[in-house]
Structure 1
Amino acid sequence: MHPILIRIGPITIYTYGFWVAIGFFAALALILKEAKRENLSPAIISDLAFWTVASGIIGARLVYIIYDLPHFLKHPLEIIAFWKGGLVFIGGLFFGLLASFFYVRRHHLKFWQLADLIAPGLALGQALGRIGCFSAGCCYGKPTHVPWAVVFKNLNALAPLDIPLHPTQLYHSFACFLIAIILFCSQRHYFNKRLLDPAIPYGRVFALYLGLHGMQRFFIEFFRGDIKPIFFGWLSLTQIISVFMIVSGCIIYLKKKS
């Protein structure tokens, strides 16, 4: 657990920001590769990725600030220090999708085609970004005595120190890697099927993403130690949103299958 990757004089490179950047470029590389297969312009995809990620970071940071508003009211300069850690993916997904929707409408593109295109890359980017969470000590788990528990020692970590915790960051990372593989295989499967039947609708891969991500987030949330349940005494806001994602994914998949 190393929150600070490199420090050279006044220049500090945070491990969290490094892994988020690695996740972004890995996701973009995968998306651009698949865009060529779909005969889509790399320039348009790059522009779309920029606006989606920029909006997503703003949304993710905004939701994180809302979660811990009293702290940021006392330390307003920390509001923009997202590179140290502190992004809520659900907020990023909502704002990112909103930006994508307006971009797609403005350029008269096919929303569901692009949604399917970015889904595997999005999961891959999340998987790598979660390694940054682990390094920063954010999104930490509840105290536990399982053999794979982790103990944070670095004073710069956001997690409680010297307490064995569930490595929920790594749970999320593993789950997202697995989801990325499933989505990538599904994307290739539907691409090959469209070669024989172009009428097969887009949207199923993104629907799978919504359902699978919602499920992993819902269940791993029970092991998180930085979340306060606010519904029925045992459910968090993120879990309620995750249920909405699961239901939405099922509806979209069934609709696109008909």
Structure 2
Amino acid sequence: MHNELLHIGPLTVYGYGFMIAMGVLAAWFVAEQRARKLKLACEHIFYLVVWCAIGGFASAKILFWVTNWREFLQNPRQIIGSDGFVVYGGIIGGILVGWLYCRIKKLKFLEYFDLMMPSIALAQGFGRIGCFLAGCCYGKETSGPLSVTFTNSDFAPNNVALIPTQIYSSFLDFAHFLLLLYVAKHKKADGQVAACYLIFYSIGRFVIEFFRGDIERGSVGVLSTSQFISIFTTVAGIILLLTVVKKQKQEANINLNSKG
């Protein structure tokens, strides 16, 4: 793959950065259009996207430093020029920043949490295409017919057939986006879409990790760092789903009793 898409004078447009930008713009467009249909305050969507993106990228970088703390401890100067990110850090950081923004602006967090999560899945789909172009987040060596061989990557081993985990992840993310739109259309209570995002993404990521070959991302026992985090995000999603469903049933019973 060629990460350098094109050159405009002295400016080089890189595939990874371009696809990240496309993902953010797509997330913004979809979230704003859905906000209009749901009659939510559209003026907040742009700021939510911007602040969540900033918080997400910062948290993704911090978690990357944490998972590689031994390497950076030996050579602290590598921190400045390190290229890696950990997606789970971005998800957690983006959610926290979104919660803080909603709290400051006195918005109903679960409403906007549900609104934004399909867009996050969409952005991740574009982001994984960027990973493919750059060669990062690569898979294990394979002799199977479905493989990719990088010849000029700064991240993946070159001239070796690898499992195209980036493409699989991108496909799952786009499918996840469509599934969350379906859930959003049929949801009974605020928070259900966000809960489903946490559950579906965590399960998918846990499975994909078995095929990843970039082992320098760290591990916890026999699990990769992302698999370890996936356990907790799955549990968090289940707890959130059960909580909002229980609350919805209680409110339905209260309304039924008041009418009776």
TM-score of the alignment, normalized to the shorter chain, above 0.5: yes
User: Partner of 1:209 in structure 2?
Assistant: 197
User: Partner of 2:165 in structure 1?
Assistant: 168
Q: Following superposition of structure 1 onto structure 2, how do residues 137-152 of structure 1 map, counting pairs within 5 Å? A: 137-152=135-150
User: Partner of 1:178 in structure 2?
Assistant: 175
Aligned equivalents of 1:202 and 1:76: distance in 2? Answer: 40
Q: CA deviation at 1:92?
A: 0.5
User: Partner of 1:24 in structure 2?
Assistant: 24
SS at match of 2:148: coil
Structure 2 gap segments, 5+ residues each:
247-260
In structure 1, which of residues 222, 230, 241 is the aligned counterpart of residue 219 of structure 2?
230
Aligned equivalents of 1:63 and 1:4: distance in 2? Answer: 27
Q: CA deviation at 1:104?
A: 0.6
The one-letter amino acid of 1:160's match is: P
Aligned equivalents of 2:51 and 2:27: distance in 1? Answer: 14
User: Partner of 1:193 in structure 2?
Assistant: none
Aligned equivalents of 2:233 and 2:67: distance in 1? Answer: 20
Q: CA deviation at 1:87?
A: 2.2
Structure 1 gap segments, 5+ residues each:
191-199
Q: CA deviation at 1:74?
A: 4.0
Q: Which moved more, 1:37-46 or 1:175-184?
A: 37-46
Tell me the C-alpha RMSD between the 2 structures: 1.6
Task: Give yes or no for contact 1:3–1:157 (8 Å, CA) kept in 2.
Answer: no
Q: CA deviation at 1:255?
A: 1.4
User: Partner of 2:14 in structure 1?
Assistant: 14
User: Partner of 2:186 in structure 1?
Assistant: 189
Count of aligned residue pairs for this structure pair? 242
The one-letter amino acid of 1:224's match is: R
The one-letter amino acid of 1:3's match is: N
SS at match of 2:150: coil
CA deviation map 1:34-91 (0-9, x unaligned): 1011212222111111100111011112222333453673445424xx5xxx321101
Task: Give yes or no for contact 2:119–2:177 (8 Å, CA) kept in 1.
Answer: yes
The one-letter amino acid of 1:78's match is: G
Aligned equivalents of 2:108 and 2:240: distance in 1? Answer: 16
Task: Give yes or no for contact 2:209–2:227 (8 Å, CA) kept in 1.
Answer: yes
Aligned equivalents of 1:231 and 1:127: distance in 2? Answer: 26
Aligned equivalents of 2:66 and 2:2: distance in 1? Answer: 26
Q: CA deviation at 1:8?
A: 3.3
Aligned equivalents of 1:45 and 1:204: distance in 2? Answer: 20
Aligned equivalents of 1:66 and 1:166: distance in 2? Answer: 27
Aligned equivalents of 2:131 and 2:23: distance in 1? Answer: 12
Percent identity over the alignment? 39
User: Partner of 2:206 in structure 1?
Assistant: 218
